[in-house]
Amino acid sequence: MNNIILAGKTDVGLKRSKNEDIHSVNPELGICLVADGMGGAAAGEVASSIFKEVAVKIFATSADRSENYTRQLVQTAFRAANEQILIHIKENPEHKGMGCTAELLAFSDNNIILGHIGDSRTYRFRNGEFKQMTRDHSLVQDQIDQGDITVEQARKHPLKNIILRAVGIQENLALDLITMKPHQNDIFLLCSDGLTDMVDDPTIHKVLASGVDLEKTAENLVQAAKDAGGNDNITVVLCKIQ
C-alpha cells in the first residue's frame, strides 16, 4: 500500500446549507471512497456517513488483499451499508427517502477493485488520456444510451437528478464491480456529481494534466465547480500510483 498517494477535498458549495457528501482516503487500508447523500431533509448526510463507517470497518477486519477477497470486501461493504441504512430508516421513519451514491476504490495485491452505484463517478488519467470508468445509474444516462438526448442536453435536463440505483433505497442492491490493472503514474479521480454537473470533462482533464501535486489538484477541481456556480456539494478524491 506504500505505492499510492491519496488526497481528498469536500466543500458545501455555494447554494446548499449543509454538506451531505463524505469522503475517506485511507492508505493504511488501501481504500478511498466518495459518498453523496440523498434525501435533503431525509438526512442524506447520515446515509453517506453510514457508508463510510461501514466500509472502513469492513476493510479494517482483514489484511488479506488477494484479488478475489478484495472483491468480496467491496461487495460486503456495499451490502452491509445498504442494510444499515435500511435499518436506520426503519428505526427513524422521518428519514425515509435517504440514501447515497458511492464510489469505493480498493487495492488488491495486483489490481484495483472499484465498486460503483449511482451518479458519482470514477475517472482515470493515464499518459495524457482521460477516461470515465463508470456509467451513471440515472434516467438521463439511459436516455443518452438510447440516443434520445445528447450529453450536453443531459447536463441541463430537468430530470438529471433522478437516480435509478443508490445505497439504502431497496433491499436488493445492484452494484457495478470493475477490476482495473494499475499502471505507474495513473491518477484516479472519484467525485460526486457536484463536480461533474458543473465542470465538463475537458476542463477536468485539463486540471488533472496540469502536473501540480494532488492536494492542489483537488483544490483546483473544487474551485472550478464553485467558479461555475457551485450548485451542489462538491467532493473529489485523487489517487496516484507511484
Within the chain, strands assigned E span 4-11, 21-26, 31-38, 99-107, 112-117, 121-126, 129-132, 176-180, 187-191, 234-241
For residue 227, the model assigns a pLDDT of: 98
For residue 195, the model assigns a pLDDT of: 98
For residue 47, the model assigns a pLDDT of: 97
State the 10-residue block means of pLDDT for the chain, 242 residues long.
Answer: 87 96 96 93 90 98 94 98 97 94 96 97 97 95 90 83 93 96 96 96 97 96 98 97 92
Distance, CA of 64 to chain centre? 24
User: How many domains does the chain fold into?
Assistant: 1
What is the grid cell recorded at 193? Answer: 456529481
Give the residue carrying C-alpha cell 488533472. Answer: 208
Give the residue carrying C-alpha cell 435533503. Answer: 40
Torsion of CA 63, 64, 65, 69, to 10 degrees: -130
**Residues in the chain, overall count:** 242
For residue 232, the model assigns a pLDDT of: 95
For residue 152, the model assigns a pLDDT of: 81
Report the candidate in 200, 3, 167, 186 with the shortest Cα–Cα distance to residue 80.
Answer: 167
Range of the domain at 95: 4-241
* DSSP summary character for residue 163: B
For residue 41, the model assigns a pLDDT of: 66
CATH number of the domain encompassing residue 118: 3.60.40.10
C-alpha–C-alpha distance, residues 1 and 31, integer Å: 9
For residue 186, the model assigns a pLDDT of: 97
pTM to 2 decimals? Answer: 0.95
